Amino acid sequence: MSFTVFGLNPNILKAIEALGFEHPTPVQEKVIPHILSSDRDMIGLAETGSGKTAAFGLPILSRIDMSFRGVQALILCPTRELCLQITRDMGSFSKYISDPGIVAVYGGSSYRTQKQKLKEGARIVVATPGRLVDLIGQGIADISRIWCLVLDEADIMLNMGFKEELEAILEAAPEERQTLLLSATMSDEVARIASRFLRDPAELTVGKKNVATASVEHTYYMVHARDKFQVLKRLVDSHPGIYGLIFTRTRGGAKEVADKMIGEGYNADALHGDLSQDQREYIMGKFRERKLQLLVATDIAARGLDVQDLTHVIHYDLPDDLEIYNHRSGRTGRAGKTGQSLAIINMKEKYKIRRIEMTIGRKLKEGRIPGTREICEAQLLDMMDRVTAVEFDEQRLASYLPAILQKLDGLDREDLIKRFISLEFNRFLDSYRNLPDLTPLQQPKRMPEREVPQRMRGERKGRPGDRAPSRRSEGSFMWLTLNAGKIDGVTPPKLISMINSCTRGQSVDIGKIDIGPDRTRFQVESGSVDYLLSVLKRRSFQGKRVKIRGGI
């Protein structure tokens, strides 16, 4: 099938031909004709990397009324990185359309510039929910006349705590509109939003929901928690040509892993929420240009990072929501190429393997942690591949060869090869000499599903200040500080109730609680810290604006 069959604007067809688009992807085959020929709402479920931006972007651009200066289409997405990526893509699709009026609206950037562009007459707005709500409240962004509203990555927006903002935007939009909800998963919360705000939507599903792509090979490695970083190094070293993403649960974890990798001489960097916009764009630019071999990132920070030809995704930490595992893995194995998804799994997390398999509809292969011989052999063969592939200019070398050949006179072929390898490889061989086997000696049997321990929301034993639940080690909790205390009416039940009210059913383990006169310190399981910080933004306790920070 060709893009010409859809009846798209000729200038758009010209642009996508210049981009090298030849045949529509399955999601584009379904979504493009729906938007072009129908005003009916739509739910589109498709895996990461399926071409969703072009699926909604091409028909929206084709239907825009160029004679009207005003917002006609609104595209909402969870992060500024994805906002900028969609805006760039829409700009590429409209390359041959004069002044299409595409404006990006997102946090962490100047209000002045965005306000000016909106006042000049935007036709298509790509926005993150928080910044758009601010601009609507200031009377700058007018969405009262849009005919199309796209909720891209709806599941992630809800996971990040944007439920109230989404509801406010949907309430402000005109009733007579076409709403397109695009998501990789259909969580209960996404289903509730769809039920409330979409009218008789058509459901277009590409592939099976949450099923992994066949082009990605899934392997897991069982390890002791203390050995995770050493195993990460071995996996990287056993794949010398790796170009990959390493995922951690928290921003602190991303920074720590990246710092260790850099300290060990790896070409790596981190992408997390503590970076400025300029820093993030600089790091992402280096990674896209392959000036970085490894990028350590949190799930939220990696949203909008559209990178081609990734060879590996490494799950240094499993995500709390196991459906996100498939989002991560789908970043490799694209465009007909194969990829590898490698999960480093703590012995205590083994019960999650079966859950992942059920979620993605695929079996995970258990891998053997590479040993010294496998790693050194992989590195040596990679070196030989690079030697045999290197191009040389015989004419430029001609004047140097006599002196070189004289210097090497007396060395036979085998001796020369050995010396060459040793010169390049001695340091690496020394670093892996006599390393222990990190494969756990005893691997616990997989629990039947009915025996899998369940995490309780807000579970806490004893009085404030008592020890954290014994099923978690003290080191797995992190302290958070809230700007409210006894004088504000904080009690342990009220604190837990507030957390439960904004986590929408997601389990969050609470440890010690220490309530002072005007502040409260409490422990949260470390894997839930970033999530909790995001959902507690813009919340209030007893009428007081909540401010929460990490640390004591």
Please write the tens of the pLDDT for every residue from 20-39.
888 888 889 999 999 999 99
Does residue 452 or residue 110 have the better pLDDT? 110
500 band by pLDDT with thresholds 50, 70 and 90: confident
**Mean pLDDT across the stretch 503-527?**
77
Does residue 382 or residue 294 have the better pLDDT? 294
Hey, what CATH topology would domain 216-371 get? Rossmann fold (3.40.50)
Q: Which amino acid, 218?
A: H
Summarised one tens digit per residue, pLDDT across range 254-310 is 999 999 999 988 999 998 877 777 888 889 889 989 999 999 998 877 776 778 789
Query: In what side-by-side order are the strands of the sheet with 73-76?
Result: 102-105, 124-127, 73-76, 148-152, 178-183, 42-45, 202-205
Quick check: 78 and 106 in contact, CB under 8 A?
A: no
What residues does CATH 3.40.50.300 cover in the chain?
A: 3-205, 216-371
Contacts by 357-360, CB closer than 8 A, 24 or more apart: 359/210, 359/322, 359/323, 359/325, 359/326, 360/210, 360/211, 360/212, 360/218, 360/325, 360/326, 360/329
Q: Note the CATH number of domain 3-205.
A: 3.40.50.300
- Partners of 315 in the β-ladder: 247, 343
Beta-sheet pairing, 339-346 with 312-315: parallel
Beta-sheet pairing, 510-515 with 520-525: antiparallel
Q: Which two tokens stand for residue 433?
A: 């000499």
Find all residues with CB under 8 Å of 434, minimum gap 6, and list them: 372
For the beta carbon of residue 531, count every other beta carbon within 10 angstroms: 23
Summarised one tens digit per residue, pLDDT across range 187-231 is 677 788 888 888 889 988 765 555 556 788 999 999 988 899 999
> How much of the chain, in percent, has pLDDT values that exceed 70?
87
What residues does CATH 3.30.70.330 cover in the chain?
A: 456-550
Q: Give the per-residue pLDDT at 398.
A: 87
Mean pLDDT of the chain: 82
The SS3 call for residue 349 is: helix
Residue 461 pLDDT > 60: no
505 band by pLDDT with thresholds 50, 70 and 90: low
**Mean pLDDT across the stretch 173-194?**
84
Find all residues with CB under 8 Å of 20, minimum gap 6, and list them: none
Torsion of CA 529, 480, 510, 506, to 10 degrees: -30
CA of residue 129 relative to chain centroid, distance: 18
Residue 454 pLDDT > 50: no
Would you say domain 456-550 falls under CATH 3.30.70.330? Answer: yes
140 band by pLDDT with thresholds 50, 70 and 90: very high
Q: Give the per-residue pLDDT at 409.
A: 85
Q: What is the DSSP letter of 245?
A: E
- Partners of 306 in the β-ladder: none
Does residue 485 or residue 35 have the better pLDDT? 35
Residue 536 pLDDT > 90: no
Residue 445 pLDDT > 50: no
Q: What's the angle, vertex CA 138, arms to CA 136 and CA 144, rounded to 5?
A: 35
What radius of gyration do the chain's Cα atoms show? 27
Q: Give the per-residue pLDDT at 405.
A: 87
Of the listed ranges 16-25, 38-47, 521-530, the least confidently predicted one is 521-530
